[in-house]
């Protein structure tokens, strides 16, 4: 397990899903800081105001105001945020959604309906990923 906390931004408009993500991290006892945004516009505002971006972003596709694909397009166009590690976490299993997500360079596409143990599967995968993957130094980025 990593020595420092995993920082996560979950972009999700379903309050139950955000609460389940928080509970899963607590249950599995993975040291996480999970931030939440209800849509892509709110998430971009949060990301642009942070000195250090989160390690991971979990993004739903069907969001109000700015959907997941609009968010990805804006994120990838922002030089400072373009390298963010994004996982799609959606109920959509449409092939065109999966293809479009990978065209926006997501790290993975996770279908919520296929999670055997709910968000515990996501947190377990994330903890393993964080434990073995090397990241660049997370020093604050100067603006």
Instruction: Render pLDDT for 60-97 as a digit per residue (tens, 0 to 9).
Output: 999 999 999 999 999 999 999 999 999 999 999 999 99
pLDDT (tens digit, 9 = 90+) per residue, 96-132?
Answer: 999 999 999 999 999 998 988 889 999 999 888 888 8
Is 2 a residue whose pLDDT tops 50? no
Closest CA to 57 of 78, 27, 65: 78
Other beta carbons less than 10 A from residue 90's beta carbon: 23
Alpha-carbon distance 121 to 129, whole Å?
12
* Separation between Cα atoms, residue 12 and residue 37, nearest integer Å: 6
pLDDT at res. 138: 53
Map out the domains of the chain as residue ranges.
Answer: 78-131
Please tell me whether the overall predicted TM-score, pTM, comes out greater than 0.85 for this model: yes
């Amino acid at each position: 397990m990593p020595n420092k906390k995993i920082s996560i931004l979950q972009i999700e408009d379903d309050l139950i899903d955000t609460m389940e993500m928080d509970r899963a991290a607590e249950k599995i006892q993975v040291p996480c800081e999970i931030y939440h945004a209800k849509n892509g516009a709110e998430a971009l505002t949060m990301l642009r105001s942070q000195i250090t971006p989160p390690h991971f972003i979990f993004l739903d596709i069907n969001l109000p105001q700015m959907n997941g694909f609009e968010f990805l397009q804006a994120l990838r166009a922002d030089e400072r945020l373009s390298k963010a590690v994004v996982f799609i976490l959606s109920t959509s299993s449409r092939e065109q959604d999966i293809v479009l997500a990978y065209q926006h360079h997501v790290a993975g596409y996770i279908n919520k309906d296929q999670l055997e143990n709910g968000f515990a599967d996501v947190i377990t995968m994330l903890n393993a990923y964080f434990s073995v993957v090397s990241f660049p130094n997370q020093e604050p980025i100067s603006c």
